[in-house]
């Protein structure tokens, strides 16, 4: 594909890309994937807590989206529709994983043992100064932030990731999670308070860097989905 053709597809809006992809234009579908991969990945990872599982969930979500492109209705927000598919896939995987873990645990755990979770070190106080190596400190800060986001209760985590990290409007988050918009706003506010208490500083300027979506991860997801599409002869 030449550079001009790539540019032409890149400037098309989502409904146009979906229409072309539904007609068999795989380059349009690739452009759609690259546009929304980060949002879908972050949503899936917020549920699964595992990068590899999140990648697999996003690939499966894209496959399901491709198979139902003609079912898309223009009155819906494409990003919301796609994110909902990824969330459903992640939730299904989490339920499956928990069922598998419960079976394994029941096979090896003695009857008197308690099913307890280890507690995490609550010490997240930041140093008084950043120190000489700014890059190292920023990496450490991001690591701590990602850890604290992972520790949020399920009730709040995905809402926070979609609102603060992915910057989705509250109305779109509500549609994606099938929640009232007021509930999304309340959960987001409570999630921020929990994180601020843990980090003891304002997180907003740094949240956008959490769960960075490296180019190779996006490439991997796109390549996997397109290979599956081509193999299916769609």
**Residue 68 counted as domain residue:** yes
Residue-range definition of the domain harbouring residue 138: 134-207
Same domain flag for 8 and 74:
yes
pTM of the model: 0.64
**Residue 118 counted as domain residue:** no
One pLDDT digit (tens) per residue for the chain, 234 residues: 566 566 566 678 999 999 999 999 999 999 999 999 999 999 999 999 888 999 999 999 999 999 999 988 877 789 999 999 999 999 998 887 665 455 434 433 434 333 333 333 333 333 444 445 567 767 777 788 888 888 899 889 999 999 988 889 999 999 999 999 999 999 999 998 888 888 765 444 555 566 666 678 888 899 999 999 988 876
HEC string of the chain equals: CCHHHHHHHHCCCHHHHHHHHHCCCHHHHHHHHHHHHHHHHHHHHHHHCCHHHHHHHHHHHHHHHHHCHHHCCCCCCHHHHHHHHHHHHHHHHHHHHHHHHHHHHHHHCCCCCCCCCCCCCCCCCCCCCCCCCHHHHHHHHHHHHHHHHHHCCHHHHHHHHHHHHCCCCHHHHHHHHCCCHHHHHHHHHHHHHHHHHHHCCCCHHHHCCCCCCCHHHHHHHHHHHHHHHHHHCC
**Residue 116 counted as domain residue:** no
> CATH no. for residue 158?
1.10.10.10
């Amino acid at each position: 594909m030449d550079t001009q053709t790539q540019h032409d597809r890149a400037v098309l809006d989502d409904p146009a890309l979906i229409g072309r992809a539904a007609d068999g234009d795989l380059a349009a579908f690739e452009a759609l994937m690259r546009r929304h991969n980060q949002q879908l990945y972050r949503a899936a990872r917020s549920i699964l807590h595992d990068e590899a599982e999140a990648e697999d969930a996003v690939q499966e979500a894209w496959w399901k989206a491709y198979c139902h492109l003609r079912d898309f209705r223009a009155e819906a927000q494409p990003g919301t529709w796609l994110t909902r598919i990824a969330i459903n896939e992640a939730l299904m995987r989490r339920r499956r994983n928990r069922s598998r873990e419960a079976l394994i645990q029941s096979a090896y755990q003695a009857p008197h043992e308690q099913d307890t979770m280890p507690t995490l070190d609550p010490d997240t106080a930041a140093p008084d100064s950043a120190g000489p190596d700014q890059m190292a400190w920023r990496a450490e800060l991001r690591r701590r932030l990602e850890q604290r986001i992972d520790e949020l209760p399920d009730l709040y985590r995905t809402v926070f990731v979609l609102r603060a990290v992915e910057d989705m409007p509250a109305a779109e988050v509500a549609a994606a999670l099938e929640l009232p918009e007021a509930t999304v706003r309340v959960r987001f506010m409570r999630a921020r308070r929990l994180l601020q208490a843990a980090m003891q500083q304002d997180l907003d300027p740094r949240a956008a860097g959490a769960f960075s979506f490296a180019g190779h991860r996006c490439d991997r997801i796109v390549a996997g989905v397109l290979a599956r599409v081509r193999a299916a002869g769609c």
